[in-house]
Amino acid sequence: MPSNATDTPGSTFPLQVTTGSDTDLNSYLYPHHPLAVAKSLIQTAQALVNPRGKGIYATDETTDDIESRLASAEGIVGKLYTYAEKRDRRRRFRQCLYESLPTDYISGVILYHETLLDFQMGPVLSNRGIIPGVRAETNAHPLPISPSEPATQGLDDLLPRLQAATRAGARFSKWRAPILCNSSTLPTQAALEVQAESLARFAAISQQAGLVPIVEPDVDFAEDANLQRSVEVHVKIITMIYARCAAYGVLLEGSLIKPSFPQPGLKHPSRPNTSVEAVGLATATVLARSLPVAVAGVVFLSGGLSDSDSVQYLNAVNVVVNNAPSGSPLCLSRLPNLSFSFGRGLQGSAMQKWVGGDEAGAKAAFEERAKACFLAARGEA
């Protein structure tokens, strides 16, 4: 090499090429991805979205959030429980559903740290062939330059927390980054950059702990953005996330993404008349323009949507992919499996049954919702 030349970053990394019994993992890896770890990450990521239609049950609400939902389902205003009673009620609700999750439809479960570490329910799931995961982010704080926008926290002690989760049986983790969106001023460039950076750093640290990372850019739809604006913001944040993932050497084959559906804001006049087919096409367009081919799968979030809308949107994007012509300029055939990571979209009816003392009804209601999501993730709802 000439004396005035410099190495391209990464060009001197020793290439780890699998041979022999590892021909199923024929990848060039960075040194910080040992072969055994990389193989495990890829296998877990694939298992979370295969066979097509299976998806993730998100049970990572904070203790305050799950208490609020249980109280709302109970419908008894002012009923008081002691701290111990509340804790036991959370444990019993989780255990009721975990022990009966339909394994034909559910591949994994995201747990809150209380459920994983204190209640030790990882083995309850893994013994049934369901993959346990953990929520990684903590709280959000206002972005100083734009105080209305949140910046997600939790990076400082992330590695030891994820290592503890791994010891408790977790095999994947999830980090949510909310993105405010309106017709003109939001999101700011600063908000996009800080959230993309935090998601990429999380993903790298998660893989360092041996856990498949699920990055969750959650674009808000409470304001007045139209569908085109929502598509624009989704494409921008997802593109930025993967640019930062490349900078941190994230193994994309051992990762998933949990995006929101692009849609008009609640305050935009077009929302009532926007068809589910339009949302499906918009969602497929976003992914075709921004998702790297190597990412193992997509598991959509359902936050803020009705049970019906979340399933219809999921079905619509899969129908678009199923029916895409071979010569489509969007190249939709290259997209990975498009599945779900729903919480309220799965457990709402089951929770109503459970608080009324009908455990059998709760299990049946959950299975009914899980089957509907499974069919939607195949475009067959």
Residues designated as active site: 258
Contact assessment for residue 191 and residue 148, using Cβ atoms and an 8 Å cutoff? no
Closest by CA to 304, choosing from 178, 172, 153, 141, is 178
What tokens does 236 get? 């921008």
Distance (Å, rounded) from C-alpha 101 to C-alpha 347?
11
Pairing of strands 146-152, 140-143: antiparallel
CA distance 16 to 251: 13
- Token reading at 246: 């490349």
Report the C-alpha gap between 81 and 191 in whole angstroms: 39
Q: Are 57 and 99 in contact (CB under 8 A)?
A: no
Indicate the burial class of 309 (C-beta count within 10 angstroms; 0-12, 13-18, 19 or more). Answer: middle
Bridge partners (DSSP) listed for residue 58:
110
The CB-based long-range contact list for 279-283 (8 Å cut-off, 24+ gap) reads 279/227, 279/313, 279/316, 279/317, 280/313, 280/315, 280/316, 280/317, 280/318, 280/319, 280/320, 281/316, 281/317, 281/320, 282/227, 282/230, 282/231, 283/313, 283/316, 283/317, 283/320
Nearest to 248 by CA among 288, 283, 198: 198
